[in-house]
Structures are given as structure tokens and as C-alpha cells.
């Protein structure tokens, strides 16, 4: 991927643009991504798969924004060598082969001003470490947080790449995530998983290098293939490891119950999973347990951060919902609950920004006929940082905003921003989502983007529609938001539910869920040039929205299905659904519908010419 110098206008820090080279002289570019912070201890491992563990290099670029107008000290710990520039000034020059040691440099900076930053690092041999800290008279020494690091570039189409021996070729036929509106989703693969039983695909995520997609669910008697692993005693649950280059199942990890949710650690690649078996952290290839807690059977959502924090949500019957926070060793370090059985968590996210933040969303049954959405955030010491929406029943009634609302999903996008998706029983204008999340008296019109009848909630009646937005992770404030609804042939609004939200490195938003008839241009929708089956209740869908919310690049239906999860990383997007019908398949592991209920995976941006690696 090549980046051009167009400023990214999104609010809040989102990390630095990182270029990973398979040599120590910055010549053989292997991989690019956004890194939230520079805080890596790779040990004797390579940063990503298909890259040497020795003689590699990384260049981080972007901008840094200090909090105080003071003399700042930067501490750079590197094994082996590194150089740091701030505002064009070489602050630290440590290009020697050496064990991990810290070197300091100082520079005067002005509060709130953004300065160009560049760090070049190389690994020669042995262990690999790269960590950047800062401090000042008013600020204690800490890893430079994501909130103060900014990626100042946007992606453009890369030039053709000539394959080298032993590498994965990049053929001209490789599918790509759309960057302009289309009714034909260009996938690289789509496959069914099932054999006539109750086979469900609930969760998905991508490995750090995007080479593997993980599919979590319940497959009682179905064998997806590949290397077999049994963890925690095995069982009806499964975690499928699917290679997005060969379009084959590499391994199937059996677990005692359904895998309800999963997330991949963006640094280590380890996989946090939650389900009927409790919570567990697996190795990056899903072959081993790192740690687990099987003392409960009601874990439904899970999230993890680069520093190894794992947050799991429990839907406890007859007791307040609970969130447990585990450290990298699998020890519970914090816990929160809703306090009331009428108040519910629906999802949880965790980020390393600002020293670490845990964020939940859900709803409170304020009165017998009023549900109010909320978001809530805590630091790693357990202190509440902010709460949004969650207005009192009296405030909601006085504002005449009585449409029921729920916070359904929350996520930290690959751009480092906070995303929240909610549901409204009725129109947005009659709900609290039409107001500033921190002040019910303030309209959110200035932050709300409308472009057509499918995101302008008029003539809606009593339907369930979706609200989604980008929020400030440090305050809970709304940055940008939008509604999403279907339309009947009469023009009357119709239901769109959301089950998943995420964003890519450039801030494009990805939604998955289910919709009543019909989404925009429903009869024109295709997947890989094949027309999608006619609408039959209900459509699952994948929606891709531009970073400024002004365009829907794709809104692709999956007939007789429910899209449960979506994920994206480094130009590859995956979506999983549960379906009761035959679906379009391509480069499939299983091309025919197994009967009853099947899992369904489709991949955009992977290899659509099968290769051997």
C-alpha cells in the first residue's frame, strides 16, 4: 500500500503510519498498517508472518501533539538501533547494533500544536524491542499514547508488485474493498460451512497480517477440515482458521460450547474468545490455551488490546450484567456491573489509548415504556471517565424523545477511533440519538450526515432502525453520526438491525446485520457479478460507508440470512452470517448449502487466485 500526503481530518489521535520492511535498510517493503503506539517487544519473533525474525526494519511517520508547552524528554528503547526526528530535528540517533537500552533526547514543544514525527528502527539479530516514551515537567514518563499521535496520510492505489521467490504474488485479479459506490461486491472468496444440522457462524476477526480469517461459532457435527485441535476438552463449538490467500481451512479448534465472540490482539496476534465455556486467550494459531476462566457459562462479548488487556461481558441470568477485565496473565484486575437487572450491557471494547480505557454500551429500562441507550467508559483503575446518552426518564420525556433506544455494539476501529452502533424503535428525530450525547438540550444536527432516503429517517412509523457514529474515546462526544433504514416499495420506512460495527485504517465504516425489504437498489445487487437471490425475510447485509459518511460504497444483501460479524484489516474485509438457504460461493471450501442452518463466510480483498505458499 502506498500513501499520499492528504491530511486526515478525523478528530482525536489514531496512531502512526507504519511501514514494515523485510530487511534492515528499508528497501523490501512487506506490510503497512496503523500502529496505535510504539510499544513493541517482539522477543525473537517476527512482527508479522512471512517476514524474517532478524534483519527487519520499521518506519513510523505521522504527527505528535504535546499536552504542555514545555521541554519534552523522549526515551527510546531499541534492540537493535533506531533514530527519532521531531519537527524535522534529529532528537535521538542510536543506529548501533545493541541490546535493549534507553536513550534520551529533548526538544521544546508547544501545547496543542502538531509536530511531524518519524522513527526509524532496525533489528539485526536476537531479540527485538521498540518502545517510545515521553515526559515533561508536568507529565510523568509514559508510552506516547494513541490520543496524541496522528496519522496524516490516506491510502491510494498501489502500483503493481512483482512477486519475489517465496513470497505471495499479488495478481491483477485480486479483489479490493470498494472506494466508490457499487452494486457489485467484488469478493475474493465465499464459502458455506454446514452439513444439515444447526451450524452457526457468530464471530470473526483477522490475524495481524490479514493472512488468516477466524470464524467462531457452533458446528456440532460438521467438520470444516484442516488440522484438528481440541481445547478445554473440545466439544460442539469451533474456531475455524481460514487462509485468505489459499482460500482453504488450515485448522479447526474444538471448544466445549459455541464461540459467541472473538477478537485478535493487534500486536501479539493472540485470540480472545468468549462463549458457553467462559473466556479464554488462545495462541495466534489457535492451537494452545494461553489462559482461561471456565467458571462461568454466560460470556457473550469479548475485546482485547495490544497491551494484552482482555474485557469480557457476562449476560448473567437474574443478576446485573457484568464486565470483567483481565491482564495479560489472565488475572482479573477490575470488574463492573450494571447495578440493576433492568440495566443491560450489550457490548464492550478496550483500547490502550490514554493509559487504557474500557468502554461498554447497552440500555436502561428507565420506565415500563422507555428504554434509553448509554455508553460508559472507565480507566484501568476502575474509575468512570465518562458516560454518554443515559439521560433520565424525566429529561427524555420533557424533550419529547420517547422512541426506545439501545446501544447495540461498540468497537475501536483500525483507525484508533471509537465507533458505536445503536437501535431505535421509531425515528431518529424522536429519539435521544438526535441530540448531543453529553447534553440532551443540544441538537446533534451539525454532526449528523444525511444524503438520501435510506439515512434520512422520515415516514418511518414504528420500525427498528440503526444509528451509528464515530465518537471521541476520551470524552464520549459525537464526532459524526448517521441513521440507516430500509424502504418498502411504497416509500414507507422499514427495519434495519445492526449486529456488528468496525472501521478500517482510513476510517471507512463497516456494518453487518439484517434488514427487512428493502435496502437501496436491492434488485440490482450482485456479488462477484452474480445477482443476489430475491428478497425473502430477512436479508443479512454488509454495508461499507465512506470515512466522511457521505457515500455508501456497498450495501450488499445476503438473502435468508443474518450477518453476525464483520472485520477489516490491511485491505482485507471478512463477514460471517448464518443462513437458511443456498448462497453465492466463490473459491469455496463448501459450495452447496448443507441444509437447516449453515455458516457463511465471504472475503473481500483477499487472494482470488488460489496460490501455494
Confidence grade of residue 100 (pLDDT, cut at 50, 70, 90): low
9 Cβ contact partners less than 8 Å away, ≥ 6 residues apart: none
Q: Does 518 sit behind a cis peptide bond, omega within 30 degrees of 0 on the bond before it?
A: yes
587 Cβ contact partners less than 8 Å away, ≥ 6 residues apart: 188, 189, 190, 191, 247, 608, 610
Angle at 577 between CA 284 and CA 226, to 5 degrees: 40
Confidence grade of residue 607 (pLDDT, cut at 50, 70, 90): confident
C-alpha closest to that of 467 among 476, 478, 459, 475? 478
Residue 49: predicted pLDDT: 54
| Mean predicted lDDT score pLDDT of the chain | 90
Most confident of 115-124, 176-185, 447-456: 447-456
- Cβ(36)–Cβ(17) under 8 Å? no
C-alpha closest to that of 316 among 335, 334, 291, 288? 335
State how far the alpha carbon of 384 is from the alpha carbons of 55, 378, 438, in Å: 44, 4, 15
* CATH class assigned to 184-604: mainly beta
Mean pLDDT of 141-169: 54
Identify the residue with better confidence: 175 or 61: 61
- Cβ(298)–Cβ(316) under 8 Å? yes
Ranking 320-324, 380-384, 458-462 by mean pLDDT, the lowest is: 458-462
Q: pLDDT per residue over 419-428, tens digit each?
A: 999 999 999 9
State how far the alpha carbon of 583 is from the alpha carbons of 377, 387, 473, in Å: 40, 42, 38
Distance CA 157, CA 32 (A): 13
Which three cell numbers mark 607?
Answer: 487472494
Mean pLDDT of 245-254: 96
Distance CA 492, CA 470 (A): 28
Residue 35: predicted pLDDT: 83
Ranking 126-135, 272-281, 445-454, 580-589 by mean pLDDT, the lowest is: 126-135
- Cβ(473)–Cβ(437) under 8 Å? no
* Pairing relationship of beta strands 322-326 and 332-337 according to DSSP bridges: antiparallel
Identify the residue with better confidence: 276 or 124: 276
Confidence grade of residue 320 (pLDDT, cut at 50, 70, 90): very high
Confidence grade of residue 304 (pLDDT, cut at 50, 70, 90): very high
Confidence grade of residue 286 (pLDDT, cut at 50, 70, 90): very high
Distance CA 232, CA 262 (A): 16
In this predicted structure, the answer to whether residue 43 has a pLDDT above a threshold of 60 is: yes
Task: Tell me which DSSP letter residue 570 carries.
Answer: T
Confidence grade of residue 380 (pLDDT, cut at 50, 70, 90): very high
Confidence grade of residue 97 (pLDDT, cut at 50, 70, 90): low
Residue 152: predicted pLDDT: 52
Q: What percent of the chain has pLDDT over 70?
A: 92
- Taking the whole predicted model, whether its pTM rises above 0.85 is answered as no
Using a 10 angstrom Cβ sphere, with 0-12 exposed, 13-18 middle and 19 or more buried, the burial of residue 568 is: buried
Ranking 28-37, 91-100, 111-120 by mean pLDDT, the lowest is: 91-100
Kindly report the number of other CB atoms within 10 A of residue 141's CB atom.
10
In this predicted structure, the answer to whether residue 452 has a pLDDT above a threshold of 60 is: yes
Q: Which CATH architecture has domain 2-156?
A: Alpha-Beta Complex (3.90)
Identify the residue with better confidence: 6 or 106: 106
- Beta-strand runs (E) in 124-195: 128-136, 139-143, 149-150, 154-156, 184-185, 189-193
In this predicted structure, the answer to whether residue 236 has a pLDDT above a threshold of 90 is: yes
Residue 499: predicted pLDDT: 99
In this predicted structure, the answer to whether residue 163 has a pLDDT above a threshold of 80 is: no
Q: Does this chain's domain 2-156 share its CATH topology with 184-604? A: no
Confidence grade of residue 22 (pLDDT, cut at 50, 70, 90): confident
Distance CA 286, CA 239 (A): 8
Distance CA 190, CA 579 (A): 13
Mean pLDDT of 10-19: 72
For the chain, the domains span 2-156, 184-604
Backbone angles phi, psi at 159, to 5 degrees: -70, 155
Residue 587: predicted pLDDT: 95
Q: pLDDT per residue over 164-203, tens digit each?
A: 322 223 333 456 899 999 999 999 999 999 999 999 999 9
In this predicted structure, the answer to whether residue 1 has a pLDDT above a threshold of 80 is: no
Residue 18: predicted pLDDT: 85
In this predicted structure, the answer to whether residue 9 has a pLDDT above a threshold of 60 is: no
In this predicted structure, the answer to whether residue 269 has a pLDDT above a threshold of 90 is: yes
Mean pLDDT of 220-236: 96
Residue 96: predicted pLDDT: 64
C-alpha closest to that of 204 among 606, 603, 609, 583? 603
Three-class SS state of 292? strand
State how far the alpha carbon of 506 is from the alpha carbons of 6, 154, 502, in Å: 11, 6, 11
Q: pLDDT per residue over 72-95, tens digit each?
A: 999 998 887 899 999 999 999 977
Q: What percent of the chain has pLDDT over 90?
A: 77
In this predicted structure, the answer to whether residue 511 has a pLDDT above a threshold of 60 is: yes
Residue 50: predicted pLDDT: 60
| Residues forming a β-bridge with 296 | none
Amino acid at each position: 500500500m502506498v500513501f499520499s500526503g492528504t491530511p486526515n481530518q478525523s478528530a482525536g489521535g489514531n496512531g502512526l503510519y507504519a511501514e514494515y520492511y523485510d530487511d534492515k535498510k528499508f528497501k523490501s517493503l512487506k506490510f503497512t498498517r496503523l500502529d496505535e503506539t510504539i510499544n513493541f517487544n517482539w522477543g525473537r519473533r517476527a512482527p508479522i508472518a512471512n517476514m524474517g525474525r532478524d534483519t527487519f526494519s520499521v518506519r513510523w511517520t505521522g504527527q505528535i501533539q504535546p499536552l504542555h508547552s514545555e521541554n519534552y524528554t523522549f526515551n527510546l528503547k531499541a534492540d537493535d538501533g533506531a533514530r527519532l526526528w521531531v519537527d524535522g530535528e534529529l532528537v535521538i540517533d542510536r543506529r548501533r547494533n545493541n541490546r535493549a537500552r534507553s536513550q534520551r533526547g529533548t526538544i521544546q514543544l508547544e501545547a496543542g500544536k502538531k509536530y511531524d514525527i518519524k522513527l526509524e528502527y532496525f533489528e539485526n539479530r536476537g531479540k527485538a524491542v521498540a518502545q517510545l516514551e515521553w515526559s515533561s515537567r508536568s507529565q510523568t514518563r509514559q508510552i506516547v499514547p494513541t490520543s496524541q499521535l496522528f496519522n496524516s496520510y490516506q491510502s491510494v492505489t498501489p502500483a503493481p508488485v512483482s512477486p519475489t521467490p517465496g513470497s505471495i504474488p499479488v495478481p491483477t485479479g485480486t479483489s479490493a474493498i470498494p472506494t466508490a459506490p457499487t452494486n457489485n461486491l467484488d469478493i475474493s472468496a465465499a464459502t458455506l460451512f454446514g452439513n444439515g444440522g444447526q451450524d452457526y457462524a457468530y464471530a470473526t476477526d483477522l490475524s495481524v497480517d490479514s493472512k488468516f480469517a477466524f470464524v467462531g461459532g457452533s458446528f456440532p457435527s460438521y467438520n470444516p477440515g484442516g488440522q484438528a485441535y481440541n481445547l478445554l476438552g473440545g466439544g460442539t463449538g469451533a474456531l475455524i482458521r481460514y487462509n485468505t490467500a489459499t482460500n482453504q481451512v488450515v485448522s479447526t479448534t474444538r471448544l466445549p460450547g459455541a464461540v459467541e465472540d472473538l477478537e485478535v490482539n493487534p500486536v501479539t496476534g493472540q485470540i480472545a474468545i468468549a462463549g458457553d465455556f467462559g473466556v479464554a486467550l488462545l495462541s495466534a494459531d489457535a492451537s494452545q490455551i494461553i489462559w482461561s476462566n471456565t467458571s462461568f457459562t454466560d460470556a457473550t462479548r469479548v475485546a482485547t488490546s495490544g497491551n494484552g488487556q482482555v474485557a469480557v461481558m457476562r449476560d448473567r441470568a437474574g443478576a446485573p450484567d457484568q464486565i470483567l477485565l483481565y491482564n495479560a496473565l489472565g488475572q482479573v484486575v477490575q470488574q463492573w456491573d450494571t447495578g440493576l437487572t433492568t440495566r443491560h450491557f450489550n457490548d464492550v471494547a478496550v483500547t490502550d489509548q490514554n493509559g487504557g480505557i474500557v468502554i461498554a454500551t447497552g440500555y436502561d429500562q428507565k420506565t415500563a415504556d422507555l428504554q434509553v441507550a448509554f455508553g460508559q467508559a472507565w480507566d484501568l483503575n476502575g474509575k468512570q471517565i465518562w458516560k454518554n446518552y443515559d439521560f433520565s426518564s424525566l429529561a427524555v420525556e420533557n424533550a419529547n424523545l420517547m422512541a426506545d433506544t439501545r446501544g447495540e455494539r461498540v468497537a475501536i476501529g483500525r483507525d484508533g477511533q471509537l465507533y458505536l452502533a445503536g437501535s431505535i424503535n421509531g425515528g431518529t428525530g424522536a429519539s435521544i440519538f438526535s441530540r448531543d450525547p453529553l447534553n440532551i438540550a443540544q441538537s446533534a444536527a451539525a454532526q449528523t450526515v444525511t444524503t438520501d432516503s435510506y439515512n434520512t429517517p422520515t415516514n418511518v412509523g414504528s420500525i427498528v432502525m440503526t444509528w451509528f457514529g464515530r465518537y471521541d474515546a476520551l470524552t464520549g462526544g459525537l464526532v459524526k453520526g448517521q441513521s440507516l433504514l430500509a424502504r418498502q416499495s411504497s416509500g414507507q420506512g422499514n427495519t434495519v438491525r445492526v449486529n456488528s460495527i468496525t472501521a478500517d485504517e482510513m476510517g471507512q465504516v463497516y456494518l453487518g446485520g439484517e434488514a427487512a425489504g428493502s435496502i437501496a437498489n436491492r434488485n440490482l445487487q450482485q456479488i462477484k457479478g452474480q445477482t443476489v437471490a430475491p428478497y425473502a425475510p430477512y436479508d443479512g447485509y454488509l454495508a461499507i460507508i465512506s470515512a466522511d459518511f457521505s457515500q455508501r460504497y456497498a450495501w450488499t444483501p445476503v438473502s435468508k440470512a443474518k450477518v453476525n460479524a464483520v472485520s477489516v484489516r490491511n485491505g482485507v474485509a471478512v463477514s460471517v452470517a448464518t443462513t437458511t438457504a443456498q448462497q453465492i460461493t466463490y473459491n469455496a471450501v463448501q459450495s452447496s448449502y448443507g441444509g437447516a442452518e449453515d455458516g457463511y463466510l465471504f472475503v473481500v480483498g483477499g487472494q482470488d487466485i488460489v496460490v501455494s505458499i
